[in-house]
Amino acid sequence: MGKLFENSGSKIKTIAKIFLVIGIIGSIALAIILGRQTVNVLYYGYTQVEDRFDFMMFLCILVGGILISYISSLILHGFGELVENSEHIRSSVYSLEQKERE
């Protein structure tokens, strides 16, 4: 159980990178799926299905999704850095206390 919680800062930073990749791939897929529209058009009493591609919707979803993924992974990565730095500070303070006791 002790190994599970060791190096938590580097684990958080790795998870942030994984979330960034998943978010970018998901944004691309969602932009393609939602950018393509199927429209039912009625021509002289007959229904005809047309596929259309809405480029503005595609672009907005793509840019917005990638931007949100990047910002959220940046925040998570920064938190991982804080955890790593606090671990280093704690170990430094502990070693200084040990030297003072000697």
Q: Residues 60-74: pLDDT tens digits?
A: 999 999 999 999 999
pLDDT at 66: 97
Q: How far apart are CA 58 and CA 32, in angstroms?
A: 6
31: in domain: yes
Could you tell me the two tokens for 59? 């672009």
pLDDT digits (tens, 9 = 90+) for 50-60: 778 888 989 99
Range of the domain at 43: 10-101
79: in domain: yes
Q: How far apart are CA 76 and CA 46, in angstroms?
A: 54
pLDDT at 102: 72
Q: How much of the chain is in helix, strand and coil states, percent to nearest 5?
A: 75, 15, 10
**Cα–Cα–Cα angle for 79, 93, 99, rounded to 5 degrees:** 160
1: in domain: no
73: in domain: yes
Mean pLDDT, range 9-16, rounded to an integer: 94
2: in domain: no
17: in domain: yes
91: in domain: yes
The number of CA neighbours under 13 Å toward the Cβ of 30 is 13
Q: pLDDT band for position 2 (50/70/90)?
A: low
Q: How far apart are CA 10 and CA 84, in angstroms?
A: 7
58: in domain: yes
